[in-house]
Each structure stands twice: as C-alpha cells, then as structure tokens.
Structure 1
Amino acid sequence: MHDLVQNVLNSDEKTALRQFVSALNAAGKPYLLRNEILQVFADYCQRSHKPAYFYHSSSLGTLISLTHEIILEEESTWFMLRPWIANQEVWRLGADMTHFEKLTPKALLDVRDRLVNRYQPQILEIDLKPFYQGAPTIDDPRNIGQGLTFLNRYLCNQLENDPKRWLEELFQALHKLQHGGTPLMISDRLHSGDELALAVKKALQFVSELSPIEPFEKFRFDLQSLGFEPGWGNTAGRVRETLEMFNRLVSDPEPAILEAFVTRVPAIFRVVLVSIHGWVGQEGVVGRPETAGQVMYVLEQARSLEAKLREDIKLAGLEVLGIQPKVIILTRLIPNCEGTACNLRLEKLQGTENAWILRVPFADFNPNVTQNWISKFEIWPYLESFALEAERELVAEFRGNPNLIIGNYSDGNLVAFLLSRRLKAAHCNIAHSLEKPKYLFSNLYWQDLEDRYHFSAQFTADLISMNAADFIVSSSYQEIVGTPDNMGQYESYKCFTMPNLYHVVDGIDLFNPKFNMVPPGVNENIFFPYNQSEDRDKEARSKIHELMFLREDPSIMGNLENPKKTPLLAVAPINSTKNLTGLAECFGKSKELQEHCNLILLTSKFSPEQATHPEEAAEIEKLHSIINQYELHSHIRWVGIRLSNMELGEAYRAVADCRGIFIHFARFEAFGRTLLEAMISGLPTFATQFGGASEIIEDVDKFQINPTDYEGTAKKVLHFLDECDANPQYWHEISTRAIDRVRNKYNWSLHSKQLLLISKIYRFWDYVTPENREARARYLETLYYLVFKPRAEKILEQHMQR
C-alpha cells in the first residue's frame, strides 16, 4: 500500500487527489462509506472529463477502489483501506497533501469517537490478539473458513515430523475415551503409543482371518485380550478397516486418512443445541416471524444429528454396551405461551428416537416480564441464572455431562459459553445473523439506540462467545469475511468502537482455524420438487393453489386480473432488511414486469396491528402505501397468513406448477433458508448479491440481483422470461439445476457428518495444541463480569419498572 500511496503523491495525480478531497468536503458528510466514496469519485471523474482508465486503473482510482471509509476532519482526511479480504489499514492524509501516514487501528477508533463528539482519552481497550499468538494460522485469505482442512494438514505434518511424540499423543487421546465410566477403543492393558502400535498389528492379523461380516460381539473378548475395547467397528470387516486406518496414519500420515479415522472415533454421544429466544416448538409454534428461520434450523439440525449419532454408534459396535445418543434442544419455558406447548418442560422431538426439547424458565425477577415472550434485544439480564438452572437440568437429563454444546444466535452462544466452561464440553458457535452489521453505525451511535436495542450488551456478548468457542460454524465464506467490496459479519468485529464504553482494537482472529463453513440443509420431507407428484396431497395442493391465486380473505390483498401470468414469488418476514417494500416498488415501477408477471408476497402478517415492534409496523404500512401508489391490486397477491411448514412447501410447489420464479430481494442476507426451500421445490431463483446468499446462486450474471437497482433487477427477470419463451425447455433446465444444487451441496446428512467430524478434530486439537486457551477464557470472563454483566443489569432495572 505504501508504494501505491506514494505513486499518488509523487505524480500528477496529486492534483486530482486534492480536487477529489474538495469534492468529498462539498458532499457535506464527514463520514462516507464505500458506495458513497465511489459515487463521489465517479462524479468527479465525469465533471473533470477524466478518461475511462483513470477511474478504473490509475493509482488514485486503485486507491479509491480499496477505500471502505473516509472521515473528514479539518486538518486531516482519514482513509480506512482494505487492500485484500480480512485486512484493514488506516492512513491519514494531511491538509497540506504532502504526506500519507499509516496509523494504528486505535487512531481510527479515536477519530470515530471525535466524529460523534464522544471522545475520551482514557478508555477500556479490548485486544484479543495476544491470545492467538503462537497458534497455527491460515496464511491465505481464500482458505479462511476451512479450519478442518487446515488442522488435518497441520496435525499430519506434526505426525510426520515427530512421529514418536504424536503417536503418544494419539494414544493418550484414545485412552481418554469413555462413556459413563466405560472405556472405549483401548483399555488399561495398553500403556503407551508404542504398545498401541504393536497391538494394532496383532489385532489386524487376528481380524484378517475372520469373515468380514462376523459380528463384533462374536470376537469382542478376543480383542479385549489384546487391549481393545468396543468402538473399532460392528463387524470384523469394519474393525479391520479402522485398524488399518490407524496403522497407516502412524506410518504414513495423510489428511484424508486422519479425517477418515477421526470420523470413526466414538467421542460424541450427548449434544446440546442452545436456542433461547426463538419460541421453540413444533406444530404451529416454529418461532416468531423474526426467529422462524433459526428455530427451523435447530429442529432440523437436532433430527439430523440424532440420526447420524445413532448410525455412528451402531457402526462403531457400541450397541453391545447399550449406548444410545441423546440430543437436547435447550430453550426457555414461557408460562404465558398463548396456547402453545412452550410451557411444557420436556417435549420429544418428532421424527427422532431420543431427541428432546428441554425448556427451562427464567428466574422470576419480574413475572410481568419473565412469564411472557421476551424480545431478542431484551433477553440479556436473565441468561446467567438460566444457564445455572439449565446446567442442573442437563446433567440430570443426560445423567452426565454433554460432549458438545452448540450455541445459536448471540444469546444462545453466551449461554453456551457459560455452560461449556462449567461442564467442560466443546463449544460450537453458530450465529448466521449477527445484528451489528445489520444496523449501520449501530456501534458508533449505540448510546442513542440503547433503550431500544441494548447493543452494548449484545456486541459484548458476541465478542465473548465467538472468542470463547472451540470452533465457529458459518454457512458461507462471506459470513466470515465478506467480499472484496463488503466486510463479512465476523470481520465487522475485528476493530470497532463503542464510544464512552470501550475500543475493540483486535476483536477476532479471522485467520484462526476455528472458522469452518458447514452450510445447512433443508427438510426434504417437507420441501421437495414440484414434479414429485406421488408425494403431494391432492387436497392440500388444491387448497394452497386457491389460497395463492384466488381466495378472498381479510388478510389477503389483490385480485389478479390475469392469474395465468408468470408468478413472481417472495417469502419473507416484513422488515427493512428483507426489503419486500423495495421489491414491491421495483415491480410497481416496471410496466414490463407487470405485463408479464404477477407478484406474490407470502408473509405472516398483514396489518400494522399485528406488528411486534414499531419498525415492523412501519414496513407494513409502507408496503400498503406502495401497492396503492402504483395501483398494483390487479397485479399482486399479498397473502398475510402464517402457513405451516407443510403448507409452505406446497406453496412453493404451487408456484412451480405455474412455471414461476422465486425472488429474494433482501438488502443483505447472511445465508437464506428460503432460497434452499424454493430451489429444491424446483423454482428458478433470483437472490441478492449482498451476503452469503450469493454463494448459493451459481450463475452470477443471470440470477444475482442488486436490490438497490430496480431497473437492473427488472431487466434480469425479463431476460429470463425471454429465454423461456425462446426455448420451452429453458425453465425446466434451470429448475432441474436448482434442485440438483441443493441436493448435492445443501443437505442435512452432509452437514451433520461434517459438524461431528469437526467436533472430534477440535477435541483432539484442544488436547495437543500449545495455544493458551485458559488465559483467553479468563480474559473473556473478565469482560463478562466487568462489562457485559453491568450492561445487562441496567436492562433489568428498566424491566423492574414495568
């Protein structure tokens, strides 16, 4: 970057830089973000009659393209540059334009505080960087999110470089395996790595003489005499394969062999999925609209994990010990549950043998609050007491400690942090949708937003849990570090200020191998292709078709003038991020779209009176206003009725029956569960280019859309319709491609296999790594008690006045 900066200052482009800064000042905003910066530069180039190359490839043009923030002060212009993904640099340009100076992140945090008139010279600085030093690190940004692959290679290199030491480490790790006090895989007959290696050769010779299908129980005691306990396999053939993997791993370590061996190691039996605020239930209770996606994710993940654990236990030969897996979804019990099952302490998860929803009530600090549903922004004061009570309940249900605790969302991960510390379980952090990057400048103006959103507690909780976790699971690469043009969700926690509260100098190591991309699946019993006719209910099909296109109802707006036009479907809760108002306006402004399509909006609410907060009410009112403004009543169907999952699956298929299209017009989407549901139903799908959704959609040019570009979006949809008119098979080709994409990459079986493998690798990693995890955990506990807890207590004070 230094050479680029000097090229600007030491050439004729210095004049252009001076003029550009003047243009920035003329814009009248002291703080500009990337899109605004690029627009000002484009306008400057046009006014100054600069040649096209100047905008794209001059030194100044390159500098501007790497600039994500500019702050204007009287004596300085501050540039926050992002030379490449996951890397940020701070540069200050003096008023005399004679020098660019590279400064520390702390200097940028100070100037941000000054910008909002909340600067103070002495402030708490949070810096996690020292706790990651000395640990192996990923060096290529393209490999961020592939922690499992990195660790496999790293561990195999260690085995190769120091085989004697690592054989002993493997022995110790296997020797610790047990369930309920019963040893697994190896017994106390073996005392060292060398003895284990020798015993493996003897065991291989023994099982090679048996029939591959010989059941384990027939030769169990012969293996025990050699020092081996159950866990190697359920047949002689599988035991032999596992022993051969270990033998090969010791003699010729390769990542693929390590992964295959670790997959077979029985180390996970009891799993907790923590989902606190989501109104967690089953039939007709799958979350509130804003949390339905998370609740469905957790329910489906639990079913899939339980099935995978059961399969692994059987294949490992552990049925002879009577071992059964158990999965618990931990959530809160809500006494005033509006007729749902959310006041039941324990509920079996449908479709499983031993997975349960365990509900623990919040302590009754104030029954007027705690006996009702509590917003995700207000829940913080109750989490510590909840975790303590949940600990007792979990140990009683499991009759022991869990092996793995998976946190979901910010509050669930904070509880997972508290539980995993006390129960000595592995902590997996999953937070597909972090609030901080959703709300622009939410950290900078946190004090103005505190009464409504309590971001000080939430962002502190995020910092604690993401750093405390043994590993982090994301659905996409962009969720972690974004793109060259946009920061990722986790990257937004790297360096930020909460004026008058603290500075985060280094909040997360993005190159640490704790990050892993493990996308979710979709429930294929509910969401399946429209042409899978044998699985569709004729009565339900007819009922949903009438609802989507014909039925009159107080919660449905619009009577379609021509129901045979191509249906353009959107399914989303009504909020500013999902941007249904933007989609309606895009549709309203395009007469061509109206000529070719009907817009179908499927939401769970229809009137402002149904809203749970003012922002939602405002969006509902705005949507009504846009429909009236553009007179869309004969071109639109707004179905404001909450459908069950089965009905929703049929709704997608009803649109696919009509050769329709699905469109996801969100301003930002961390991943996009509805995309998977629509695609596997057979719908050609257009989705926002901002966020992880863009990784689901393969054809960037044709099916990724910019929700701020109404004209461009309309052109892409119309071009697709033209292609369908020119080639009658084109819709079917895209439909089939969408179905195959989801089935091959986004399925729960693959998700569970990867998640359990990662859990096992990281358990071994925790055992052998030199990284100082305990020191980091102590530091995070300090932040919890000295920063988070006082902020949560302030919320409780407000609640006690209700």
Structure 2
Amino acid sequence: MSELIQTVLNSDEKTDLRAFTSLLRALDKRYFLRNEIVHAFDNYCQSNKKSQQFYTSSHFSKLIYFTQEIILDDESLCLIIRPRIAQQEAYRLSDDLAIAPISTPDLLDLRDRFVDRYTPQEGDIFEIDFQPFYDYSPTIRDPKNIGKGVEFLNRFLSSKLFQAPHQWQELLFNFLRLHRYDGAQLLINERIQTQQQLSDRVKQALAIVSDRSPDEAYETFRFELQNLGFEPGWGNTARRVHDTLEILDGLIDSPDHQALEAFISRIPMIFRVVLVSIHGWFGQEGVLGRPDTGGQIVYVLDQVKSLEKQLQEDLHLAGLGVLNVSPKVLVLTRLIPNSDGTSCNQRLEKIYGTHNAWILRVPFREFNPNLTQNWISRFEIWPYLETFSVDAERELRAEFQGTPDLIVGNYSDGNLVAFLLARRLKVTHCIVAHALEKSKYLFSNLYWQDLENNYHFSLQFTADLIAMNAANFVISSTYQEIVGTSESIGQYESYKSFTMPELYHVVSGVELFSPKFNVVPPGVNQAVFFPFTATQERLNHERDRLENLLFNDDDSEQIFGKLDDPNKRPLFSMARLDRIKNLTGLVEAYGKSEELQKRCNLILIAGKLRTEDSTDHEEISEIEKLYGLIEQYRLHGKIRWLGVRLSKSDTGEVYRVIGDRKGIFVQPALFEAFGLTILESMVTGLPTFATRFGGPLEIIQNRLNGFYINPTDHEEVATAVVEFLDQCDRNPNYWDEISQQSIERVYSTYTWKIHTNRLLSLAKIYGFWNYSSQENREDMLRYIESLFYLLYKPRAQQLLHEHMNR
C-alpha cells in the first residue's frame, strides 16, 4: 500500500489528496470510518466535477477504496488501510506530504490520544500479544481458505505422516489405544503392542472380513477379530469394518489428507457432550422474546436434537451396540430460582424429542440473593462465572458418571465457562460466538469507560480474547463473521488489534490464519419450519386462532393496534426489542413511506408492550421509542404490535399464516451475525428482506432468493419493498418464484444434519491434533490463565462488589 500512496504523491493527484484532506478538516471531525470516507469522496468528486474515470479508476480512488479509517490530528493524518482481507497497514501523512508507516503500538497510542486517554507519564500500558504462541500451529496463507481450517489441518497432518512416517504412525497407534467407554477397551487391545504389529494385523483382519457377506453383523465375527487385537469400534457390519480397516491400511502405507479425515471421523471417541449456554432464560417453553433470549436458545436446542441423533447413528455404525453404548448430551445453563412461570428453576429437564439429552441448570452462588435469585442481564453476569464453572464441573461429573468428551461454548459467557471447564477436565472444546458485541457497538472499545456502567465491555472483550485463543477449534456461521468482506472487517478480525484506553492494548489478539476457524452454518428445524404450501403437515386446528391473533383480536392486553383493513398484505417482522435488532428502524422506514402504508400492514411480534413490565434498559428504551414513532407518523390502524411469547410450533405456523396472505418478512437488524429468523422465513416461503450487515450476505443471494437492505437508510428499505410489490403487480407469479427459490436455498445448504455431522468430524480431528500438540499449547494456555487471573478476575470481583452494594 505504501507504493499506492507514493504513486498518488508522485502524480497530479496529490493536489486532490490535499484538497480532500482540507474537506475532511472542514467537517469538524477527527475520526472517519469507511462509509464516511467514501461518502466524503463522493461529495468531493461531485462538487469538483471529477470525471467518471477519476471516480472509479484513479490511484486516489483506489486508495480511498482500501482506506478503512482516517484519524486527523493537528499536523498530519493517519490512514488505516486494509489492502486485503485480514490484513491492515497504517501510515502517517504529514502536512508536507511526507509518508511514514505506523507500528501497531503507535497506532493504538494514537487512538488513545484521540479519546484523551493517553498518559505516557504514567508508564507504558499493558500489551496483550498472542502472536508468539501460534508457533505450535501451522498457518493458512491464502485468505480465501480462512474458515476451512480442518481441511488445511488434515493436509498438514498427512504431510507429517509422509515426511516422518515412523514418528507419526507411532503417534496414530498410541492415539488408537486411548479410547475406552466406561472402562471397556475400544479399537485395539494389548495383543497389538507396536505400530508395525498394527499394520500387519490390519491386513490379517481385512482378509477375514473380505470373505464374509457385506451385511453380516459384527457380532458374528467379533471374537475372531478380538483374537487379532481388534476391539469394537471398527463397524457394525463386515462391509463397514472392511471399509474402516482399508482406510487405515491405506493411511499407514500412503498418507493422504482425505483418508486421514475419513478415518479419524469414524473413530468412536465422542459419547458425552456438553453445550454451554449461560445467560438468558434457557427453557423449551415461554422464554423466547424475554430479554437476552432469542436465536441462541433456538440454535442450541435444535443442535442438541440433531447432535444426539447423529451420535446415535455414528455409534451404531461403529458397531458399539454390542456394548450397549448410549450417548448423552447436556445443555449447561444457569438455574433461575425466581423463574416467572418458566421451567428455569428446575435442575434437570428432559429435552423434547430426545432419548438422553437434558438441560442441566446450576444456580449462581448467593453472593447477593436479591440479584442471583433473578434473571441477570448478559452484561452483568461476569462476576459469577468462575464459581459457576466450579459448581458445574461437580454437577457434570455426577450426571455423566465421568467426564465429557467434548465441550461446546456458546456466546461470550458460555465460551469463558467452556474454557474453564475444558482446562480442568482436559477435554477438547470449541466455541460459537453467535455475535461478538464489539462489532455491534460502534467504538465500544475506545469509549469502554463511558459504557462500562451499562455494558461492562472490559470484562466481555477480555473473556472473548481468552476464549477464542484457548479453544481447540472455533465454529462460525459465515466466512465474513471471521474476516468480513473486502469492504468491512469481520467480527473476529476486530479483535486482531485494538485498544482499551488506560486498561490494555491488544497488539495481536487472534491469529485469523489459524486452522482453528471453521465455517459450519446452522440449520433450521424442519419439523417446525416448513413451507406454507405443505398443507398436510400444518397446524390446521390452530390456524384460525393465529389468524385472529395476528390480524383481528383487539381485546388482549398483549396486543397493541387494531387494523383498519386487515386484508392488506402483511409486512412482518419478529425479534427482541433491543437496539441492534432495530425494529424501531423498520417502523420508522414504514412511517416515512406513504406508499408502503397504503399497500401493507406492519405486523410486529416483539417483546413487551409496557415499560413497567421490563427490567432491561435497552428494551425499555425501544418500547418508548416505538410508541413515539407510532404517534409521530400516525400509524394507528396500520400497525399491529404483539407482545406475546409464542411456542415454537405456533411460531412456525405464524410464518405460514403470513405466507397464506402473500406476506413479506423483513429483518432490519443493524448487524446480524447469522440470522436464524431469516432461515425460518425463507424455508416457510416468505420473500425475505434482510440486513446487508453480517451473515445474511451469505444466506441470501440478492434478488434471486431474497433481498438485501441497508437498515440505516429508511428510504432505501421502503423503496426496496415497494419495488418488489411493483414487480409482483407486473408479474403475478413473481412472489411465488421468489418464495420457491427461498425454500430451495435453505434445503440445499442449511440443515442440522449437515451441521452436526461436520461438528462431530471437526471434534475428532481437533481431538487428534490436540493430542499430538498438547505440550506445544501449554505455554499459550498458561498465558491465557495469567490474563484470566490478572485482568479478568479483578474486574469481575470489582463488579461483584458493586452488585453486593445494590
């Protein structure tokens, strides 16, 4: 990038650079983000009547395109440039147009000065740098392969097998000897003592099973294989045993990354799984729509059901029916004594539709019963997580009668607990962020002190750094969740380097090119969410009740707004009432568009209707704002707001009722990490308009099976929907075409079967990698523990002290 800057400076375009800098200084701002920079450049080109060639193809326009931030000070400007995905450079340009690179520590100092939090006379600030600890791991080179970590890791491991065959075959042999279930040896026994013996016996076993009928049950030749040294775990039929042994035989003789993944994926090594999801109201009924309770709960419950089913299938195929092996899955969450009519005060709750999957709730210790007996916001939960993990470990050991084989953390708090548990239990663990708050709240790290009373970002961002570096592997729903797009940084990428002024500087917070990152999108529960045209499967006995709820009833305390014309096309949205979900932004876009009001009713299912019923400050603020917008734009008779908590089955049918009326679904979030409601609406068959900020960019193919909107531009939102309605008027089949393509998009890509099969395969591969590199990770884990005890814990105790005084 320095070459591009120098090219601008060596050409006539340096005059434009000077003039553009003067334009920025005239705006009475000092910090510009990419959208502001691009907008200012547009204005500069228009006001100076620049040619289209200059606007699109000049060196200066290319420099503007790559610039993510500009910081102005008295004598210079700083350009933060992103030449390619997952990389960043910074340069200082002085008034005399001299250019010099800026190091990451100096850039962080500059940002501190911007918010008047730079105090060099008090000594250097603490720096966090994880880069040296990634020496143990290979790194990906091509940014396009970020998020395909297991594929890269398999190639790396198989190359090691090829380069040092004796060492790695010995490692593989010892790994196979590890596996047991409730004391019973699996795979190989003491009759096989060396890796050379293993190679010889595999060939003998292949000869035995090759002579048998492919469908012959494992039980009939079990003891013959046992005499050779092979215990259960190779397969349930002669064909399955033969295929597994043949893969191993090929792997020993000629290592290959695809064979390695195929073989490791067949090893029965996961029987007990813990999914950690702490905050919110974690239950199966009557919880959705409560504060902090939404898509994450749906995600975990759907994942559990599919995960148990996949485990049962895998263990059956491995031939472990002879040992009566039964998998067990636990969702670890907090117990809320004052449960407000939900099941959140029950220690153990069976998960519907499963054989052996449970919600295990562990209470927070009663440091302050006035708080810990009740729901606690996800922003306030931090002081209780360490002792929660200690108590949870005891409960998990009791429930499993042993230790879990895999721990999956969810969200920042669950990910921290997953780390604490995995560290003590010494098991493989992965994390799922769902959404990293740092990306959702603009400048949340720079102004953390101003936001600390409400959000406690110092704790959350520290917990995020700990979890994402400690995890054996990371699951993201989309590629851009990790590293963004060519125009915007990803959620994880935002942790690469940042400052928490007067607390610490993060010089290198995460290695984005680490093979720990894997894109594994979630699915949609097809038993609940399915096309509105599937009339035989629908809840036909509930349709009239839900029709009245959505369009007609006017005597319920949970409904605001009676529609003047209930037969107008419904414009529908459903989400929590918080700032990021931006339902008030949708109401404002609707309120500003007379055309949209004329053609559609706005139907919202969202949170509570009254501020006195809520204890969440964001929800209260959004309730007040929503009422204000209804009055401001005179929306009475055109909007209907339901403050109801629907069962999952009702939720699925509500989408379909909207589909019966050729309705439209709008997801107007300011940022959405993924967007389960988008999958739900699409698989139902609703044409879906979703935010272009975040995961929907990878779910929806614009104008083919859905539509992007910029939720910050109210006019654009309304125009996009009106243009769709106009197209429907011109082509009576257009709504149906988009509807069908939406359904096909979900069925082809977003199923829980695909997700859980991939999750378990990843867990096994990373379990093998963890076994082979454990000693190399110990230095990083010790560093992470230091951050926990020296940074996180003191601040958590400080917050606990504040709680005790409430």
Bin for the TM-score computed over the shorter chain: over 0.9
Find the counterpart in structure 2 of residue 48 from structure 1: 48
Which residue among 619, 626, 638 is the counterpart of 1:623?
A: 626
**Are 1:774 and 2:778 matched, yes or no?**
yes
Q: Tell me, what secondary structure is at the counterpart of 2:440?
A: coil
Find the counterpart in structure 2 of residue 292 from structure 1: 294
Find the counterpart in structure 1 of residue 457 from structure 2: 455
Q: Distance in 2 between matches of 1:362 and 1:562?
A: 50
Which residue among 696, 699, 703 is the counterpart of 2:699?
A: 696
Q: Offset at 1:574?
A: 1.4
Q: Offset at 1:286?
A: 4.6
Q: Distance in 2 between matches of 1:268 and 1:387?
A: 22
Q: Which moved more, 1:180-189 or 1:250-259?
A: 250-259
Find the counterpart in structure 2 of residue 226 from structure 1: 228
Find the counterpart in structure 1 of residue 57 from structure 2: 57
Q: Distance in 2 between matches of 1:120 and 1:514?
A: 37
Find the counterpart in structure 2 of residue 787 from structure 1: 791
Q: Distance in 2 between matches of 1:770 and 1:218?
A: 39
Q: Tell me, what secondary structure is at the counterpart of 1:303?
A: helix
Structure 1 gaps of 5+ residues are none
**Are 1:712 and 2:711 matched, yes or no?**
no
Aligned length: 801
Q: Tell me, what secondary structure is at the counterpart of 2:41?
A: helix
TM-score between the two structures when normalised by the length of structure 2: 0.97
Find the counterpart in structure 1 of residue 3 from structure 2: 3
**Are 1:518 and 2:517 matched, yes or no?**
no
Which residue identity is paired with 2:209? Answer: V
Q: Offset at 1:340?
A: 2.1
Find the counterpart in structure 1 of residue 69 from structure 2: 69
Any conservation in 1 of the 2:289–2:606 contact (CA below 8 Å)? no
Any conservation in 1 of the 2:161–2:169 contact (CA below 8 Å)? yes
Q: Distance in 2 between matches of 1:770 and 1:216?
A: 35
Question: Following superposition of structure 1 onto structure 2, how do residues 8-157 of structure 1 map, counting pairs within 5 Å?
Answer: 8-97=8-97, 99-121=98-120, 122-157=124-159
Which residue identity is paired with 2:713? Answer: D
Q: Distance in 2 between matches of 1:538 and 1:299?
A: 25
Any conservation in 2 of the 1:669–1:693 contact (CA below 8 Å)? yes
Any conservation in 1 of the 2:146–2:512 contact (CA below 8 Å)? yes
Q: Distance in 2 between matches of 1:274 and 1:651?
A: 30
Q: Structure 1, residues 179-221: CA drift from partner, whole Å, max 9, x if none? A: 2222211112112222111111111110011111211111111
Q: Distance in 2 between matches of 1:7 and 1:307?
A: 60
Q: Which moved more, 1:327-336 or 1:556-565?
A: 556-565
Aligned-residue RMSD, C-alpha? 1.6
Any conservation in 2 of the 1:134–1:771 contact (CA below 8 Å)? no
Which residue among 553, 557, 561 is the counterpart of 2:564?
A: 561
Q: Distance in 1 between matches of 2:625 and 2:427?
A: 47
Q: Distance in 1 between matches of 2:361 and 2:144?
A: 41
Q: Structure 1, residues 713-738: CA drift from partner, whole Å, max 9, x if none? A: 33322232233233333222221221
Deviation beyond 6 Å, 4+ runs, structure 1: none
Change (3 A) 1:286 1:632: closer
Which residue among 332, 335, 341 is the counterpart of 1:333?
A: 335
Find the counterpart in structure 2 of residue 547 from structure 1: 549
Q: Tell me, what secondary structure is at the counterpart of 1:663?
A: strand
Q: Distance in 2 between matches of 1:652 and 1:598?
A: 15
Find the counterpart in structure 1 of residue 310 from structure 2: 308
Question: Following superposition of structure 1 onto structure 2, how do residues 743-762 of structure 1 map, counting pairs within 5 Å?
Answer: 743-762=747-766
Q: Structure 1, residues 402-421: CA drift from partner, whole Å, max 9, x if none? A: 11111111111111111000
Q: Which moved more, 1:726-735 or 1:86-95?
A: 726-735
Change (3 A) 1:289 1:800: closer
Which residue identity is paired with 1:483? Answer: T
Q: Tell me, what secondary structure is at the counterpart of 1:375?
A: coil
Q: Tell me, what secondary structure is at the counterpart of 2:117?
A: coil
Any conservation in 1 of the 2:290–2:576 contact (CA below 8 Å)? no
Any conservation in 2 of the 1:177–1:185 contact (CA below 8 Å)? yes
Structure 2 gaps of 5+ residues are none
Which residue identity is paired with 2:113? Answer: R
Q: Offset at 1:488?
A: 0.9
Q: Tell me, what secondary structure is at the counterpart of 1:84?
A: coil
**Are 1:371 and 2:373 matched, yes or no?**
yes
Which residue identity is paired with 2:16? Answer: A
Q: Offset at 1:679?
A: 0.9
Q: Which moved more, 1:698-707 or 1:101-110?
A: 698-707
Find the counterpart in structure 2 of residue 661 from structure 1: 664
Any conservation in 2 of the 1:277–1:331 contact (CA below 8 Å)? yes
Change (3 A) 1:184 1:358: same
Any conservation in 2 of the 1:280–1:287 contact (CA below 8 Å)? no
Which residue among 595, 598, 604 is the counterpart of 1:595?
A: 598
Q: Offset at 1:800?
A: 0.7
Find the counterpart in structure 2 of residue 634 from structure 1: 637
Question: Following superposition of structure 1 onto structure 2, how do residues 300-449 of structure 1 map, counting pairs within 5 Å?
Answer: 300-449=302-451
Find the counterpart in structure 2 of residue 613 from structure 1: 616
Change (3 A) 1:44 1:654: same
Which residue identity is paired with 1:608? Answer: T
Change (3 A) 1:14 1:770: farther
Q: Distance in 1 between matches of 2:548 and 2:256?
A: 58
Which residue identity is paired with 1:129? Answer: Q
Q: Distance in 2 between matches of 1:652 and 1:386?
A: 38
Q: Offset at 1:134?
A: 4.9
Change (3 A) 1:582 1:610: same
Q: Distance in 2 between matches of 1:488 and 1:117?
A: 27
Q: Structure 1, residues 567-587: CA drift from partner, whole Å, max 9, x if none? A: 111111112211111111211
Which residue among 477, 484, 496 is the counterpart of 2:479?
A: 477
Q: Distance in 2 between matches of 1:523 and 1:473?
A: 19
Any conservation in 1 of the 2:276–2:414 contact (CA below 8 Å)? yes
Q: Offset at 1:700?
A: 5.6
Q: Structure 1, residues 85-115: CA drift from partner, whole Å, max 9, x if none? A: 1111111111222x11111111110011111
Q: Offset at 1:742?
A: 1.3
Any conservation in 1 of the 2:339–2:374 contact (CA below 8 Å)? yes
TM-score between the two structures when normalised by the length of structure 1: 0.97
Q: Distance in 2 between matches of 1:232 and 1:183?
A: 12
Which residue identity is paired with 1:752? Answer: T
